[in-house]
Chain A
């Protein structure tokens, strides 16, 4: 290559990244790269620039087909590289953007130039500048016929746009076309774009094409199609949920690469739902076995390891499948044992597989032998010089320790009971030694010395392990170490994590209360506001409640020790706000409780806090409340209170505070100081922070008052929900027999739009609007039967009704359409609109108060109702009767008005609802079902066969027959349209065609058509 010639000529070797590729055997893969660094130091910038220029010119000639860049691009890269400051770079880029804007608008740009412009745009955006003006050009390029431009266009749009960008709509059509292209490179480029640019809404537009590609002739395309489906699954699992069987089938594709790709989506699927894939365990085991036996073609070897990435994926999947499943685990013992024996631990990739085996063993139900080999492997990792392997070793140890205790119980073996951190040298190079006394599975690892060096990652991993190993016997050492480490780091994110771990361990294993409070103080002092506020509240509660023992003495000691430690700390500068809140609260509650400290001493301290942190309102609030408590306790115990002068000024200052909260607290404090002992004691009793305050939610103490008011003619209260929400909510209740969820979101798709019905629904929904008695109807039975006041209440509703109407239809429509859109009982839905009363009176179920009125139903009305709703279908007889039962709830006054309205609607309605669903449903499914059955039978033998790899070696007849069947399917699916048309009649044919057309045009139908595609794609 010319570029290389130039490089050598110019002595630019110092920039060379990797050159000599030694054989992986010699030193192991990870050191295969010997880096050549700075053979000839050359610091003269001018000279370097000259060199770069020469290279640029050389490359600019574009002698190396396809990828040569022009001089402008090189100049751009070079000048940006040489810019001395960010400002200079920005200036260069801005001029470049101007140039590009101009150039892209020029007519008739040669293709190579156009590509180059777009690449420059991408480059500029990578440097962090806005290139959005060029997005449209990139989109335009995807439409181009030339592969060069199309690929560049796709590359650019995948880097520029997100899946919700407005321009995506312009690309979807092109993608659809390209997915059907004859040129597999075009297909690949389109699949690449699909992965990035298709969002949940546009998935249906490309899904059929992508599924077709699963049987493409080129394995590269099949692989990418699977990955694209995987991506769809990640974006919206429901969109491809019907395609799961395809993944299973592709597991026995005759190309191992495709099989390997299938493992990715299967891994995701299995991690979501383990149980439905248990049957695959044996297949996975046999695949892994065959991979390790090197039955794959040589080209899948990597550093003399057969298909390591496939092995790793398989191990991960098997770990998922066999976790906690003894029989599944047992199937894997053999192959895992083989892996431990065979794995070459001198290469990086070999260790990767070993580590994966350890991970797998830590998930499954392991055998003692496997545990032992895992322990051996871990000890090798830990003893290794490579930090990477040490890291993996620590990680593996953490995993095994998690399971070891169970095994220990099972096997009555010794447990790792004392993991002591015995020696410790401070500062950065700390040495943590675990003395592992009875490690039953670590025979060769009795004393593991682990030196902690500047490697932060390793250190963190070690602390993670320590965290997992903590017990009450070693908690003190470990938490101390953790806190030291926490103090030493600056990374807030990790500090938070370590702080919360310290707190967790301290809460769980604290040997003594004093220790616990000390640790908490340290955590608050150093991690301060990074600590979750809950931790602070927990601490306060703990101090208030004690450690759960009924020993008041101990609790008091605990409190005293807390108060003492806080009084020490409080004078330190710059404490975190959260800590100060805790301190103030504890001092307020318990500062004077013991009698050791005088009220004026504590209140002085609290005033200091409020002064020193005058910008922090929360702290001030806590301090003032604490002051209030202290004074209250003083007053209650009958001592004379003399408010300190600084406290007085604080109160006065806060009385005029901008914060209403502080103001209120100050006023309360002032008022409290003026009260007598008895009153104060009932306001703020001593040590009552843990007493539950009972809140009477029903406000029952007001009952007498209400009774009085009602007797004197007031109207009883009707809750808001009953006033306004009754129609929708109750509708919902009445309709959903089978759906138990009352107010939850609906997740199933809405049913297909039916042309005639919605219009009817809307008209019937609109009809009642002008009718003022609509809302009052349901209450009429009540009003006739019960007191005057209730009649009045219904009149109130009437008035509310009027208000609603004033705001016009929308409010009405929204309420009614909500009910009409609850699909499965749409027929019922329309009938409820037509007479309103049904809905509202069926609502009586939730509102029990209306229940007793039912018996008063007029039999005449019942008959009317029966005649209106009667007769058409038997399946709805139960509902029919229920609606018949509700019917009479309608007021007599209204009957005349409603009857004519209802008469025309219900009968055709019911028919309409029944017929289309029945025909389209049955007719659309049947032919495909049959086809599916055909495919299933042919694919099953593939899925069940254990010798999957045998298929790769020599494509046996069975697979080819599957393939041909698949291709036939795509043909015959066209045929089935005709077939089905004869069986179905005109209606469904139209529907199918329309649907197909809609999909071709890339329009996203409102819902997935389950009958059409689910069955087709199986």
Chain B
């Protein structure tokens, strides 16, 4: 199971973090800081894996990938395959790239809720849901379309809710 997804920039600022088991705000911060300091201390051109029992409890691994100014981090347990998780980061970035065309840190910062939408389509409750970035994009686009529609006409849902309430 995937325990957490994080995007941290090279200064250590979290850009997006999602924990699939509840953590208090303080714990989240502690973990993000811990992960970042581990990542900083790693030289270039080494493996993308880290065993990170000290932060996340026994049997937890971490896979990260460094893109320009951002670290993409996945934390997971023994039931996942490390190389596959590395590719999941790839899926995520590919999708973001399709989403924002030439994604950069700014896109991620400024489209905070869209980022979550994308992530939720890829990882659901700690399990991999979809790995095809085209499919993910389709779902995300549909959501944004309907959201826009529901925003414009607020009359329709009213009647629906009336029906539902019966």
Identify which of B82, B90, B109, B164 contacts A30 (C-beta below 8 A): B90
Residue of B nearest to A162 (CB): B22
On whether A196 and B144 interact (CB within 8 A), knowing A126-B16, A457-B50, the answer reads no
- Min Cβ gap A450→B in Å is 13
On whether A349 and B112 interact (CB within 8 A), knowing A29-B90, A145-B157, A228-B125, the answer reads no
A159 beta carbon closer than 8 Å to chain B: yes
A230 beta carbon closer than 8 Å to chain B: yes
Residue of B nearest to A146 (CB): B150
- Min Cβ gap A990→B in Å is 23
B164 & A17 in contact (Cβ 8 Å cutoff) = no
B73 beta carbon closer than 8 Å to chain A: no
Complex Cα distance, B118 from A645, in Å, reads 77
Chain B residues closer than 8 Å to A264, beta-carbon distance: 127
Identify which of B104, B127, B151, B158 contacts A16 (C-beta below 8 A): B104
Most buried by A among B17, B20, B86, B139: B86
- Min Cβ gap B146→A in Å is 6
Number of interface residues of A (CB under 8 A): 108
Identify which of B47, B96, B145 contacts A391 (C-beta below 8 A): B47
On whether A67 and B114 interact (CB within 8 A), knowing A18-B103, A30-B90, A35-B68, the answer reads yes
Complex Cα distance, B142 from A130, in Å, reads 33
Overall SS of chain A's interface: helix
B81 & A355 in contact (Cβ 8 Å cutoff) = yes
A316 & B79 in contact (Cβ 8 Å cutoff) = yes
- Min Cβ gap A418→B in Å is 29
Chain B residues closer than 8 Å to A128, beta-carbon distance: 25-26, 28-29
Please give the residue numbers on chain B whose beta carbons come within 8 Å of chain A beta carbons, in ascending order: 1, 13-14, 16-18, 20, 22, 25-26, 28-29, 42-43, 45-51, 53-54, 67-70, 79, 81-84, 86-87, 90-91, 93-94, 96-97, 100-107, 109-114, 116-117, 120, 124-132, 134-135, 139, 142-151, 154, 157-158, 160-161, 164
Chain A residues closer than 8 Å to B1, beta-carbon distance: 234
On whether A195 and B124 interact (CB within 8 A), knowing A15-B106, A356-B81, the answer reads yes
Chain B residues closer than 8 Å to A528, beta-carbon distance: none
- Min Cβ gap B62→A in Å is 9
B113 & A119 in contact (Cβ 8 Å cutoff) = yes
Residue of A nearest to B1 (CB): A234
B42 & A456 in contact (Cβ 8 Å cutoff) = yes
Chain B residues closer than 8 Å to A301, beta-carbon distance: 132
Chain B residues closer than 8 Å to A261, beta-carbon distance: 127, 129
Stretch of A176-184, A655-663, A741-749, A872-880 on the interface side:
A176-184
Top 8 closest pairs, chain A to chain B, by CB: A352-B83, A493-B54, A387-B47, A162-B22, A195-B125, A145-B157, A455-B46, A147-B150
Chain B residues closer than 8 Å to A130, beta-carbon distance: 25
Beyond known contacts A69-B110, A145-B160: 4 more, CB 8 A cutoff: A35-B68, A122-B112, A147-B150, A455-B47
Complex Cα distance, B100 from A3, in Å, reads 8
A818 beta carbon closer than 8 Å to chain B: no
B129 & A227 in contact (Cβ 8 Å cutoff) = yes
Identify which of A19, A112, A185 contacts B97 (C-beta below 8 A): A19
Identify which of B45, B69, B149, B158 contacts A387 (C-beta below 8 A): B45
B164 & A181 in contact (Cβ 8 Å cutoff) = yes
B69 & A145 in contact (Cβ 8 Å cutoff) = no
Chain A residues closer than 8 Å to B147, beta-carbon distance: 66, 147-148, 151
List residues of A (168-220) whose CB comes within 8 Å of B's CBs: 177, 180-183, 185, 192, 195-196, 220
Identify which of A12, A52, A159, A180 contacts B18 (C-beta below 8 A): A159
B22 & A230 in contact (Cβ 8 Å cutoff) = no
Residue of B nearest to A4 (CB): B101
- Min Cβ gap B149→A in Å is 8
List residues of A (208-255) whose CB comes within 8 Å of B's CBs: 220, 223-224, 227-228, 230-231, 234
A285 beta carbon closer than 8 Å to chain B: no
A485 beta carbon closer than 8 Å to chain B: no
On whether A308 and B87 interact (CB within 8 A), knowing A123-B112, A231-B125, the answer reads yes
A15 & B105 in contact (Cβ 8 Å cutoff) = yes
